[in-house]
Structure 1
């Protein structure tokens, strides 16, 4: 099925953003933003779980319970992600790379399921990764699933309210084209945050 003209630039933006984030986390090379390739080392588990200050939300073992200010560890398996039912704390807790990457992978995987899958998965079904290697693979798999969901959409689907039934957002009340745009900005802004945290971690280690 040909890609609808309105979807093509958003698909290209998604491909660039996910590739750049994946390279930024795994190395050995990444696009600096102007087409120049620069070297980057692979992320370590210590970096993935690094808490720059007190009160951070992160990924933790269910057996250890939630972190400061959180009341729930959401996710299946040994690990969960700190959260609390709405209303969330204000100001929002600072979150680790592990938290942000888990959030990104989960929203991609679940939205894919609620677009062209079973329309049944929730956060309680999503397996949270406790180490960076598993987390990066999970992000890549979730991004592939979301891309497949995009390729399944025609112009009618793009104009359909509730084409994606993702239960943890406003998707059931949104045009699918708007959901596609929203997912792109999630990858762009969380990807930038992860990149900055990598830089700060590197600088902190260099100073110590």
Structure 2
């Protein structure tokens, strides 16, 4: 833990020095580096080794999950393949607790894939048409692919592209600049994937306690 923290601090210093050398015309790398640094040095390694048991684990009754088609009870079961994701419209208050599989599905589709389709030429997709992963390994491969497409797309905007309006794909935020969307996606990824990491910790310690008790 200590060595990992020290490495993170060294990398943070390197990024700050890099930022200090940048002019006010280089916001694009800064926006990409915000999520890129988090992805590389704090997040992605923590997702390695995700098991199917963790992926589908329901820590409380009535979770929203990704399930084999026809086995769910949620009002909406979206997806084009063998697996569907639980939804309800409107969302209940409070909403059901989402599993790792559900949270990854949301990030892969709602946060990344739909935006990649709207802004960077990806094949059109949405929650209803996406083929959800039946395994943790498949979900991580989907996440990696959509993240790479997003980062490449943001890079392709250059500096001027960050100032252009998002357009109708972003609904009431159509007039907001693309830079605002990039910041939103960064927040969403950091938020939801941190939740996934926390659920992995909870799974580990819950099951370790049960094993020790037995």
Unaligned runs of 5+ in 2: 1-24
1:199 Cα deviation after fit: 0.6
Map of 2:139 onto structure 1:
135
**Aligned pairs (5 A) from 1:57-96:** 57-66=64-73, 70-85=74-89, 87-96=90-99
CA distance in 2, matches of 1:51, 1:120: 31
- In structure 2, the CA distance between the partners of 1:160 and 1:105, relative to structure 1 (3 Å rule), is same
Q: TM-score, normalised by structure 2?
A: 0.79
Within 5 Å, which residues of 2 pair with 1:89-104? 89-104=92-107
Query: Contact 2:66–2:102 at 8 Å: present in 1 too?
Result: yes
Q: 2:44 aligns with which of 5, 22, 31?
A: 22
The verdict on how the C-alpha distance between 1:103 and 1:116 changes in structure 2, with shifts beyond 3 A counting, is same
- SS of 1:165's equivalent in the other structure is helix
Does residue 158 of structure 2 align to residue 154 of structure 1? yes
Equivalent-residue separation in structure 2 for 1:110 and 1:147 (angstroms):
14
**2:176, 2:79 → 1: CA distance?**
25
SS at match of 1:80: strand
- CA deviation after TM superposition for structure 1 residue 198, in Å: 0.5
TM-score, structure 1 length as denominator? 0.81
Give the distance between the partners of 1:104 and 1:53, measured in 2 at CA: 21
Q: What is the deviation of 1:163?
A: 4.5
Q: Which structure 2 residues correspond to residues 108-147 of structure 1 after superposition, within 5 A?
A: 108-117=112-121, 120-147=124-151
Q: Any unmatched runs of 5+ in structure 1?
A: 27-41
Q: Give the whole-Å Cα distance in 2 for the aligned partners of 1:80 and 1:8.
A: 36
* Aligned equivalents of 2:27, 2:168: Cα separation in 1: 17
How far apart are the structure 1 equivalents of 2:161 and 2:173? 13
